[in-house]
């Protein structure tokens, strides 16, 4: 049983140590050392090249080192290869922190105060109680659910939307495309935590964003291509939307002359909402290899036909 790890070498040293200590039966190799391509059954990577995939005749599972799998070129991945996204506590904790920070920044008018500070203008804004600020999360998977749980203690009215809806205590859950307009109409702050698929590309567009209440704000922590950037800019300039916090853009890095950088109502961060922690990732992967070897379902296995 051999795992090939092709990501950051420094993080790889932590992975290697954990595999050696906790799973010595699984050989851990990286591209810096000679290895037999025919021995590789598992690959842990961010965006493996077509050449690498083609060089591994016995590959069984491609593990993403991140929560998303949209960076994989599925066309070069033979259909029998299973694909697994990363679920580990560090990613969840980072996303919970970031989403909470962004919600509170918007709720407490930080965008206005940033502008006022530039002009040395002392301009208090009347406080709106949390109970009057409705928050909605698109995508009720591992991360969307964790973010909603973390927001509960503040007292915001919470709602969520996903393909299947589901039931989350204290959250008004909506399912499917037909329920999207009603959900959007109840979001003063909308958080996008969807995976990027053919169905969700461009989902944050004029049609959907204009269904948000007047003065609503957007947090995009999903993927840059979820957002139609010209639609966001025009809805901000028309003052239908009051602000946006964007951790993901298209492309990344965002070019220096992009209008998002200088827009007074947009806050940008460079795709740092959460990052995979190497210790949690190595342990999550070992646990999944054990499940696979025992014929059990793996945590985070992707339905390839669905794209997430």
Q: In the 8-state DSSP scheme, what is residue 63? A: E
Say whether residue 67 binds ligand OXD (CB under 6 A). Answer: yes
Quick count: other Cβ atoms within 10 Å of Cβ 33?
7
DSSP-assigned states of every residue in 62-120: EEESSS--TTS-GGGS-TTSEEE----HHHHHHHHHHHHHHHHHHHTTHHHHHHHHHTT
- Give the pair of three-digit tokens for residue 265: 């109502």
The minimum distance between CB 41 and ligand NDP, in angstroms, equals 24
Question: Residue 240 catalytic?
Answer: no
Say whether residue 162 binds ligand NDP (CB under 6 A). Answer: yes
CA distance 159 to 37: 48
User: Contact region for ligand NDP (CB under 6 A) — 107-115, 221-229, 234-242, 281-289?
Assistant: 221-229
The minimum distance between CB 77 and ligand OXD, in angstroms, equals 17
Which residue in the set 144, 243, 278, 280 belongs to the binding site for ligand NDP (CB under 6 A)?
Answer: 144
Say whether residue 187 binds ligand NDP (CB under 6 A). Answer: no
Q: In the 8-state DSSP scheme, what is residue 301? A: B
User: Contact region for ligand OXD (CB under 6 A) — 28-36, 49-57, 62-70, 117-125?
Assistant: 62-70
Three-class secondary structure of residue 238 per DSSP: coil
Say whether residue 139 binds ligand OXD (CB under 6 A). Answer: no
DSSP-assigned states of every residue in 221-281: -S-GGGB-HHHHHHHHHTTSEEEEEES--SSSSPPTT-HHHH-TTEEE--S-S----HHHH
Task: Indicate which residue of 134, 223, 277, 283 is catalytic.
Answer: 223
Which residue in the set 220, 276, 289, 302 belongs to the binding site for ligand OXD (CB under 6 A)?
Answer: 276
Say whether residue 141 binds ligand NDP (CB under 6 A). Answer: yes
Question: Residue 163 catalytic?
Answer: no
Say whether residue 254 binds ligand NDP (CB under 6 A). Answer: no
Which residue in the set 43, 106, 140, 191 belongs to the binding site for ligand NDP (CB under 6 A)?
Answer: 140
Instruction: Give which of ligand NDP, ligand OXD, none residue 162 binds (C-beta under 5 to 8 Å, depending on kind).
Output: ligand NDP
Which residue in the set 44, 217, 273, 281 belongs to the binding site for ligand NDP (CB under 6 A)?
Answer: 273
| Contact assessment for residue 167 and residue 173, using Cβ atoms and an 8 Å cutoff | yes
DSSP-assigned states of every residue in 144-211: HHHHHHHHGGGT--EEEEESS---BTTEEEEETGGGHHHHHTT-SEEEE-PPP-TTTTT-BSHHHHTT
Which residue in the set 102, 218, 247, 288 belongs to the binding site for ligand NDP (CB under 6 A)?
Answer: 247
Q: How far is CA 246 from the centre of its chain?
A: 12
Say whether residue 136 binds ligand NDP (CB under 6 A). Answer: no
| Contact assessment for residue 98 and residue 221, using Cβ atoms and an 8 Å cutoff | yes
R_g over Cα of the chain: 21
Say whether residue 67 binds ligand NDP (CB under 6 A). Answer: yes
The smaller minimum CB distance to ligand NDP, of residues 84 and 130, is found at 84
Say whether residue 66 binds ligand OXD (CB under 6 A). Answer: yes
Binding residues for ligand NDP (CB under 6 A)? 67-68, 91, 95, 139-144, 162-164, 193-197, 199-200, 221-223, 247-248, 271, 273-274, 308
Residues known to be catalytic = 223, 271
């Amino acid at each position: 049983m051999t795992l090939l790890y092709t990501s950051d070498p420094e993080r790889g040293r932590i992975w290697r140590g954990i595999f050696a200590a906790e799973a010595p039966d699984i050989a851990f190799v990286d591209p810096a050392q000679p290895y037999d391509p025919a021995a590789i059954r598992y690959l842990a990577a961010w965006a493996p090249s077509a050449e690498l995939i083609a060089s591994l005749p016995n590959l069984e599972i491609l593990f993403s080192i991140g929560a998303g799998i949209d960076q994989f070129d599925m066309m070069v991945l033979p259909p029998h290869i299973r694909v697994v996204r990363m679920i580990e506590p560090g990613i969840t904790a980072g996303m919970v922190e970031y989403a909470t920070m962004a919600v509170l920044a918007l709720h407490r008018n930080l965008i206005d105060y940033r502008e006022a500070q530039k002009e040395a203008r002392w301009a208090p804004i009347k406080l709106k109680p949390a109970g009057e600020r409705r928050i909605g999360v698109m995508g009720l998977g591992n991360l969307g659910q964790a973010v909603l749980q973390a927001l509960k203690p503040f007292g915001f009215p919470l709602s969520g939307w996903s393909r299947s809806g589901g039931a989350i205590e204290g959250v008004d859950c909506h399912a499917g495309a037909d329920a999207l307009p009603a959900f959007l109409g109840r979001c003063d702050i909308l958080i996008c935590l969807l995976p990027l698929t053919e169905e969700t590309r461009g989902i944050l567009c004029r049609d959907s964003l204009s269904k948000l209440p007047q003065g609503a704000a957007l947090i995009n922590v999903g993927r840059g291509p979820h957002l139609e950037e010209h639609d966001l800019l025009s809805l901000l300039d028309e003052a239908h939307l009051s602000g946006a916090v964007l951790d993901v853009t298209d492309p990344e890095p965002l070019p220096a002359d992009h209008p998002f950088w200088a827009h007074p109502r947009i806050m940008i961060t460079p795709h740092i909402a959460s990052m995979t922690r190497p210790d949690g990732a190595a342990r999550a992967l070992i646990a999944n290899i054990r499940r696979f070897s025992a014929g059990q379902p793996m945590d985070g296995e992707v339905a390839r036909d669905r794209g997430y």
